[in-house]
């Protein structure tokens, strides 16, 4: 069975409330930033490069303590592929997005709207985990 590994990010910015970035892929689904690593890149370098390539966003801060993995199977040309994706949580002050050729649209959405719009359950769970992580960090700072 073929295997693939990618790296991605749950990207958010602070407005009146937290806004999460979701991208619409050419196939129609809404998902998060992600892509394959290049030889010699660290996980974090891959995430920053993919973020820049897919959205034009260059100002990004990793939120400590968030590194989540998802695993799934998909079909490519009649073959089953096992995919592993490692996600980080990234904050950006940037609102402007410049899409790559891989994507046809983007949205900055509040938490509940982002969950409704994202196509895949494992990506919804990632955004839930990211949101809970940010809430825990806020409560530690205020406590």
pLDDT over threshold 70, residue 143 = no
What residues does each domain of the chain span?
2-142
Length of the chain counted residue by residue: 143
Q: What is the pLDDT of residues 94-133, one digit of tens each?
A: 999 999 999 999 999 999 999 999 999 999 999 999 999 9
Closest by Cα among 104, 108, 103, 99 to 127? 108
Number of Cβ atoms within 10 Å of the Cβ of 85: 21
> Could you tell me the pTM of the whole model?
0.94
DSSP state at residue 15: S
State which CATH number among 3.40.50.300, 3.90.79.10, 3.10.105.10, 3.10.580.10 fits the domain covering 2-142.
3.90.79.10
Contacts of 89 (CB under 8 A, 6+ apart): 9, 10, 12, 62, 63, 66, 130, 133, 134
Tell me what the mean pLDDT of segment 56-80 comes to.
Answer: 95
pLDDT value at position 117? 98
């Amino acid at each position: 069975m073929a295997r693939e590994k990618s790296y991605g990010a749950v990207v958010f910015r602070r407005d009146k409330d937290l806004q999460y970035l979701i991208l619409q892929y050419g196939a129609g689904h809404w998902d998060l930033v992600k892509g394959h690593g290049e030889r010699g890149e660290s996980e974090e370098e891959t995430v920053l490069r993919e973020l820049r390539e897919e959205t034009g966003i260059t100002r990004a801060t990793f939120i400590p303590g968030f590194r989540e993995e998802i695993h799934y199977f998909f079909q490519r040309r009649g073959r089953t592929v096992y995919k592993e994706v490692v996600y980080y949580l990234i904050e950006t002050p940037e609102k402007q997005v410049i899409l790559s050729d891989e994507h046809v649209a983007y949205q900055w959405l509040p938490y509940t709207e982002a969950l409704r719009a994202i196509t895949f359950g494992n990506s919804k769970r990632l955004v839930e985990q990211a949101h809970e992580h940010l809430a825990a960090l806020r409560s530690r700072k205020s406590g």
